[in-house]
Structure 1
Amino acid sequence: MTRAATWIKMLAAGVGLCVGGPAFTYWLMPTEDELFKKYNPELQKRSLEKREMREQEFDDFVNKLKDWSKSDKPIWEAASEINAQQVAEQRQKILDDRKSLAAEAERRRREMQESTGEGPKA
């Protein structure tokens, strides 16, 4: 056998593997609809109920990625800075909520003491 025939066989085998392998995988892999139909009815119902929430979470994530990519810094640095700011804001909001709840509880306690006639204790 000549050297050219060996090269031709090698190229044919390479193309067969490079094209045929992914094509075979694509042919075997079920679609999302086929997988969904194999779920039991309870899982189908739960999946449909949570679909909108998952889509919204994904949209929020994509929007965050777009915001992070506007920065000159790498995305992970921009994300960590923004997340740190959000955590600080959430922490401050929780502290403010606690203060307002404590003030409301104190106000109610004074109202109850006044309505029972005890008056404030020193």
Structure 2
Amino acid sequence: MSRAGLWAKTIAGGLLMVIGGPALVEYIRPSDEELRKRYNPDLQKRSAEQGERRAQEFDDYVTKLKEWSKSDKSIWYAAQEELDAKRAALEAKRTQEKEQTRTQREEMRKEMLGEK
């Protein structure tokens, strides 16, 4: 066999693998709609219910990413700062609620002692 024929076979085989492989995978892979049809009815219902919520969560996340990217800092630092701020606000709220509960207990205790 000539050298040119060997090269032609090699190139043809390579093209078959590079182009034919992904084409075959795309041909045999089921579409998203076909996969959903294979779900049992409970999974279909749950997927439909959660789809809108997940889409909204993704949109919110993308909006946050856009806000963080406007900062001079790295996105990771901006995200961590926001997370720290949320934690601090939550901790402050818990502390305030504990203080209110303690105050209410004190008032109740004073009322109980005052009535006796």
Matched AA of 1:88:
A
Report the aligned-residue RMSD: 2.4
Task: Provide closer, same or farther for how the CA distance between residues 4 and 45 of structure 1 changes in structure 2, counting only shifts above 3 A.
Answer: same
Structure 2 residue aligned with 1:22: 22
Long gaps (5+) in structure 2: none
Q: How many residues align?
A: 116
Equivalent residue of 2:72, what SS?
Answer: coil
What is the CA deviation profile of residues 15-43 of structure 1, one whole-angstrom value per residue up to 9, with x for unaligned ones?
Answer: 21111111111112111111111111111
Residue 117 of structure 1 is matched in structure 2 by: 115
TM-score by length of 2: 0.79
Amino acid of the structure 1 residue aligned with 2:91: R
Determine the C-alpha separation between the residues in 2 that align with 1:7 and 1:72.
55
TM-score by length of 1: 0.76
Other-structure match for 1:66: 66
Letter of the aligned partner of 1:63 in structure 2?
Answer: T
Aligned-partner SS, 2:61: helix
Q: Percent identity?
A: 43
Query: What is the one-letter code of the residue matched to 2:34?
Result: E
CA distance in 2 between partners of 1:41 and 1:23 (Å): 32
Alignment map for 1:1-80 (pairs within 5 Å): 1-80=1-80
* 1:76-99 deviation per Cα after TM superposition (whole angstroms, max 9, x unaligned): 232222222222222212222332
Question: Counterpart in 1 of 2:101?
Answer: 101
